[in-house]
Structure 1
Amino acid sequence: MSRWLKCLAVVITLSLALGACSRMGLAYRNLDVIIPWTLSDYLDMNGEQKGWFNERLKEHLSWHCTTQLPGYLDWLDRLQVMVETNQVTDAALQSRTQEAKQAIAQTAREITPSAIELLQGLDDNQVAEMNEAFAKDQRKRQQDYVKPSLVQQIKERSQRMEKRLDGWIGPLSPPQQQRVVDWSNALGDQNTQWIANRVHWQKQFSAAVAQRQSTGFPQRIETLLVNRESLWTADYRKAYANTEAQARSLFVDLMAESTPAQRQRLLKKIEGVRKDFNDLKCLKAAQQS
């Protein structure tokens, strides 16, 4: 439950797919880059659990590679066409975002039974360890993202975004840099709502795991992993809607102001992600069958 596919890296579309997919191609052995949950950050599994987990990991990765990655290649094609034809619009980004969310949800549904089985097998010490790790995570994120003044939060958010964008389209022009600053200002105290909602989710997850032998546990975990948006706080729901809208607006404007060199760099990055996928042996096997 740590990084939710490590999303929100560049803008909502790039973060939901390109940012996550580039990691997939380079570190495909790590479940936490393809599914919205990971226990590795929060507890130490015993030998038996690790053996079981590794076997399930292989099964899930095989399923994901053979059934899901071909669709990701199609998704990349649609994104590439948007950039090549200069049709990066709000409506198009909404479509790509929705497609990415559906792919994430499908993967979450697939691995949920394994998550339930693993969680049901935790002992009390492991649950206590997990809860302490949650508390440590909360303290660190409060320190890093909420404690700084709002002015500092906005400045650091702008810097993070500019750094990420530099990796995808190269150095930004002064107008593009200002657009990033405006974007960060428009998000305001989004950090506060994000962290508060994260704490809210972790508390619900801990409460569910405390009742892991109850008959209602599987359904509760499925809700927490697959339908997590239904558990968001009202404040975060509003903040997230604004975050998505602002991200789309930012990307549309950056592309409108982009140079041919920047667009070419972005297309090259997309092609690099496609190559990472195509180089995976499991995908080659699926394409040949």
Structure 2
Amino acid sequence: MRSIFPRLRERLPLVAALGALLLLVSCTRVGLVYRNLDVLIPWSVNEYLSMTTEQEQTFKTRLQEHLAWHCKTQLPAYLEWLNEINREVETGQVTEANLRARLEEAKGAIEEIAKEITPSTVQLLRKLTDAQVQELYDSLDKDMRQRREKLRDEWDDRLEERTERMEKRLGNWLGRLSPAQRQRVSEWALSLGDQNGLWLDNRARWQAEFRDALAHRQADDFPARIARLLQRREELWNEQYRQTFARNEQAAIRLLVDVMALADDKQRTRLLNRLDGMHTDFASLACLNGGG
């Protein structure tokens, strides 16, 4: 299940996959995926940039270090996070207050990852050649063109896609949604309005700041600029986007509360089984039990 909340980070393409560590809680076979991140992440990176042999070796070495850090220092907290969600589902305490608390905990975990990977990001970016930087710029341009192109689709089509995407995410956890639950999802999708352009404008601002920083990657303030982009992206938001982001978060929380209030016993059992399975997958990882 992907995060149903609005995007919590504008991630740097070169190291974007490191942020996927946090999203592992949404994978069906989290243990299997986690054990193979060192293989999966380089494939993601290569979509944006061709690295030299030396750069690849440096990246893989630092990646192994980050994965070890994450497993040994962060996953124990994730296990407790899953336990809290499990208890709230079991006791019927899926409330706005509790979901807000879980969301803030997830944000805190993302912030820890951003801090952890910042030095590696700075090191990698500083060693890029001008040709590699241009390749990265081209990848960003292509991504933005594709996203802008989707904005040309009819609003009704984009609304339908948003609704179907959320139904699928919820269905992965709960099973087939009831008519009442599907109606609530439709209401949620409509309530967000046509905001994709606003989100893309914010993304463009982030990319413009990143490009300027990268153009001066040997400057003394480069590490601080990358730290800001990775760790404090809210500083680049304008007031309209800030308000929209907060409103969307709250709308997502209310949606979850309402969908769970409409859930039947079969759906709750499925959800609890999924949570238990994720907990088991995490808890069985060798790095949590003295292994490598």
Q: Distance in 2 between matches of 1:159 and 1:71?
A: 32
Mean alpha-carbon deviation: is it higher for 200-209 or for 242-251?
200-209
Match 1:244 to one of 222, 225, 249: 249
1:219 to 203, 217, 224: 224
SS in structure 2 of the partner of residue 161 of structure 1: helix
C-alpha contact 1:22 1:276 (8 A) present in aligned 2 = no
Matched letter for residue 30 of structure 1: L
CA distance in 1, matches of 2:155, 2:123: 42
- Equivalent residues in 2 for 1:51-200 (5 A)? 51-144=57-150, 146-200=151-205
Matched, 1:45 2:51: yes
Separation of aligned partners in 1, 2:222 and 2:45: 17
Shift of 1:39: 4.3
Provide the rounded CA distance (Å) in 1 between the counterparts of 2:134 and 2:250.
Answer: 39
TM-score (norm 1): 0.89
- TM-score, with structure 2 as normaliser: 0.88
SS in 1 for 2:93: coil
Q: State the distance in 2 between where 1:105 and 1:18 align.
A: 10
Distance 1:148 1:247, change over 3 A: same
Compared with structure 1, are the counterparts of its residues 159 and 22 closer, same or farther at alpha carbon in structure 2 (3 Å cutoff)?
closer
RMSD over aligned CA atoms reads 2.4
Partner residue in 2 for 1:3: none
Query: Per-residue CA shift, 1:78-122, capped at 9, x if unaligned?
Result: 111110000111111110000110011011101100000000000
Q: Secondary structure at the match of 1:78?
A: helix
Structure 1 contact 18–273 (Cα < 8 Å) conserved: no
SS in structure 1 of the partner of residue 290 of structure 2: helix
Query: 1:33 & 1:179 partners in 2: Cα distance?
Result: 36
Find the aligned partners of 1:203 and 1:18 in 2 and give their Cα distance: 26
**For residue 274 of structure 2, what is the aligned residue in structure 1?**
269
Distance 2:259 2:243 in 1: 24
Q: Which has the higher contact order (CA 8 A, sep 6+)?
A: 2
Asked if structure 2 preserves the Cα contact closer than 8 Å seen for 1:11 and 1:251, the reply is no
2-side partners of 1:103 and 1:71: how far apart?
9
How many Å separate the matches in 1 of 2:130 and 2:5?
A: 40
Structure 2 match to 1:9: 3
Q: Is the Cα–Cα contact under 8 Å of residues 17 and 100 in structure 1 kept in the other structure? A: no
Q: State the aligned residue count.
A: 275
- Look up the SS of the partner of 1:27 in the other structure: helix
CA distance in 2, matches of 1:11, 1:228: 17
Deviation at 1:245, TM superposition (A): 0.6
Secondary structure of the 1:212 match is: coil
Q: CA deviation at 1:18?
A: 8.6
> Structure 1: 5+ residue runs without aligned partners?
1-6
Q: Aligned partner of 2:124: which letter?
A: L
Q: Is the 8 A contact 2:86 2:275 kept in 1?
A: yes
The alpha-carbon deviation at position 168 of structure 1 amounts to 0.7
- Percent sequence identity over matched residues? 45
State the distance in 2 between where 1:210 and 1:242 align: 35
Question: What letter is aligned with 1:102?
Answer: G
